[in-house]
Amino acid sequence: MRRLGWGVIAAIAVAVGLVAALPLRGTAAASPTIIYDDRGRVLASLFPQNRVPVTLAQVPPVMQHAVIDAEDRDFYVEFGINPRSILRAALVDLRAHRIIEGGSTIAQQLAKTLFLTPARTFARKAEELAYTLKLEATYSKPRILQMYLNAVYFGDGAYGIGAAAETYFGKPIQDITLPEAALLAGLIRAPETYDPYLHPQAARQVRGIVLDSMVAAGAITRAEGAAAAAQPLGVVAPRPKASSERSYLISYILGQVTAAHPDLAASIRRGGYRIFTTIDLSMQKAAEQDFARYMPPGKEGASGILQPEGALVAIDPQTGGIRAMIGGRGNPGDTFNRAVNAHRQPGSTFKAFLYAAVVSSGYTVVDRQLDSAVSYPGANGGVYRPTDYGSQPYLNKEVTVREALAISDNVVAIKWANLIGPERVIQVARRMGITSPLQPTLPLVLGAYSVTPLELADAYVPLANQGRAVAPWSIRAVVAPDGQPVPMPPPPKARQALSPGVAYIVTSLLESVLKQGTGRGLLPILDGRPAAGKTGTTDQQKDAWFVGYTTSLVTAVWVGDDHPQPMSNGYGSQLAGPVWAHFMADAERGTEISDWPQPGDVVTVKVSADDGLLPNPTSPIVPEVFLRGTAPTATSPILSKSAPPAPVGLPGDILNPPEAWPPPPLQPAGVAPVAQVPLE
pLDDT at 645 over 80: no
Distance of CA 98 to the CA centre of its chain: 29
pLDDT at 680 over 90: no
282 is catalytic: no
The predicted model gives 119-131 an average pLDDT of 65
The predicted model gives 254-260 an average pLDDT of 93
C-alpha to C-alpha distances, 167 to 66, 170, 176, 180, 625, nearest whole angstrom: 18, 6, 12, 12, 59
C-alpha to C-alpha distances, 46 to 42, 174, 210, 443, nearest whole angstrom: 11, 30, 31, 46
DSSP for 97-123 reads TS-------HHHHHHHHHH------HH
pLDDT tens, position by position, 577-592? 999 999 999 999 999 9
- pLDDT category of residue 18 using cuts at 50, 70 and 90: very low
Distance of CA 123 to the CA centre of its chain: 35
The predicted model gives 162-191 an average pLDDT of 93
pLDDT at 52 over 80: no
Residues 199, 204, 208: CA angle, nearest 5 degrees: 145
Nearest-Å Rg of the Cα atoms of the chain is 30
Q: Which residue has the higher pLDDT, 586 or 644?
A: 586
The predicted model gives 290-315 an average pLDDT of 92
Residue 112: the pLDDT is: 78
* Amino acid letter, 456: L
pLDDT > 90 fraction of the chain, expressed in percent and rounded = 63
CA torsion 447→450→455→457, rounded to 10°? 40
Residue 240: the pLDDT is: 55
Residue 648: the pLDDT is: 38
Least confident of 371-380, 508-517, 641-650, 652-661: 652-661
297: CB partners within 8 A, 6+ apart: none
Q: Which residue has the higher pLDDT, 28 or 91?
A: 91
pLDDT at 59 over 50: yes
What's the mean per-residue pLDDT of the chain? 85
Tell me which DSSP letter residue 660 carries.
-
Least confident of 57-66, 427-436, 633-642: 633-642
The predicted model gives 201-223 an average pLDDT of 95
- pLDDT category of residue 92 using cuts at 50, 70 and 90: very low
The predicted model gives 371-386 an average pLDDT of 90
Helices 410-420 and 422-432, axial angle in degrees (round to 10): 100
Catalytic residue among 71, 128, 624, 659: 71
Distance of CA 232 to the CA centre of its chain: 28
Residue 600: the pLDDT is: 96
SS percent in the chain: helix, strand, coil, step 5? 40, 15, 45
The predicted model gives 242-260 an average pLDDT of 88
The predicted model gives 141-145 an average pLDDT of 90
CA dihedral sign, ordered 91, 27, 48, 327: negative
Is residue 407 within 8 Å of 517, Cβ to Cβ? yes
Residue 540: the pLDDT is: 87
Q: Which of 59, 154, 70 is nearest to 105 (CA)?
A: 70
- pLDDT category of residue 122 using cuts at 50, 70 and 90: low
Residue 676: the pLDDT is: 28
Residue 117: the pLDDT is: 55
10: CB partners within 8 A, 6+ apart: none
Tell me the H-state helices in 46-140: 61-71, 83-96, 106-115, 122-138
The predicted model gives 76-86 an average pLDDT of 68
Residue 302: the pLDDT is: 75
Residue 473's CB is within 10 A of a number of other CB atoms, namely 19
Residue 362's CB is within 10 A of a number of other CB atoms, namely 11
Is residue 659 within 8 Å of 535, Cβ to Cβ? yes
Tell me the H-state helices in 465-576: 500-515
pLDDT tens, position by position, 328-341? 999 887 889 999 99
The predicted model gives 423-430 an average pLDDT of 98
348 is catalytic: yes
Domains located in the chain, CATH noted:
35-229 (1.10.3810.10)
Is residue 555 within 8 Å of 314, Cβ to Cβ? yes
Is residue 75 within 8 Å of 145, Cβ to Cβ? yes
Catalytic residue among 267, 348, 499, 608: 348
The predicted model gives 251-279 an average pLDDT of 89
Q: Which residue has the higher pLDDT, 114 or 119?
A: 114
Residue 243 to residue 377: CA distance in whole angstroms:
49
User: Which H or E element spans position 160?
Assistant: helix 160-169
Least confident of 37-41, 161-165, 269-273, 613-617: 269-273
Residues 73, 77, 80: CA angle, nearest 5 degrees: 80
C-alpha to C-alpha distances, 170 to 162, 176, 202, 550, nearest whole angstrom: 10, 10, 21, 49
365: CB partners within 8 A, 6+ apart: 359, 400, 401, 402, 505, 508, 509, 624, 625, 626
